[in-house]
Amino acid sequence: MIRIDHIGIAVRNMAESNDLFARLLGEAHYKMEAVESEKVATSFFQIGESKIELLEATDPESPIAKFIEKRGEGIHHIAFEVSDIQAEIERLEAEGFIPLNRDPKRGADNKLVAFLHPKSSNGVLVELCQSV
C-alpha cells in the first residue's frame, strides 16, 4: 500500500513559517526535529492522515538552502509511505525511475527515506519513506 505521508515545503524562516501555517491550518505544529545528515530543521503539522513538513536549512550548503536559492520557498517534495522501502526502490528502478539513493537512510519522523530524481517523475522530487 502506498499513501501520501507528507508534503515537504522549503522555508527561509522556521519561526515565521510555523506561525503562518498555524494560522492557515488552525493549529500549531506538533513537533520539530533536526536532521543533521541533511543539514535541515523540520517542523510537522498533522493534516488528517497526512502531514506538512516545513524544511529550513541549517547550513548554506545544504540541499534545502540550494533549492531556495534556485527556486525560492515552496513545495520541495512529496513523500509516499511504503511498507518495504528497499523493494519499492527496486520496483521503481525497474520501471525506469532514477533513485537518488539506492540505500535508504534515516530521515525525520523516525523513518527510513530514499528519493527519486525529479527528471524521472515529471519534475517532482519524490521521497519514499518507511516507518521503523
**How many Cβ atoms are within 10 Å of 16's Cβ, its own excluded?**
10
Asked whether residue 99 carries a pLDDT value surpassing 70, the answer given is: yes
CA distance readout (Å), 88 to 64, 73, 74, 78, 118: 25, 29, 27, 16, 17
For the chain, give the mean pLDDT: 96
* Residue found by looking up cell 525529479 in the block: 118
- Give the pLDDT of residue 2: 81
For range 65-90, the mean pLDDT: 97
Whether 65 and 11 have beta carbons less than 8 Å apart is answered as no
Q: What is the pLDDT of residues 7-58, one digit of tens each?
A: 999 999 999 999 999 999 999 999 999 999 999 999 999 999 999 999 999 9
For range 74-85, the mean pLDDT: 97
Amino acid identity of 114?
Answer: A
For range 67-88, the mean pLDDT: 97
Q: At 22, phi and psi to the nearest 5?
A: -65, -40
- Give the pLDDT of residue 119: 97
Q: Is 114 helix (H, G, I), strand (E, B) or coil?
A: strand
Indicate the pTM of the whole model: 0.93
For range 104-130, the mean pLDDT: 96
Whether 8 and 53 have beta carbons less than 8 Å apart is answered as yes
Q: Is 28 helix (H, G, I), strand (E, B) or coil?
A: coil
Kindly indicate the confidence band of residue 1, based on its pLDDT and cuts at 50, 70 and 90: low
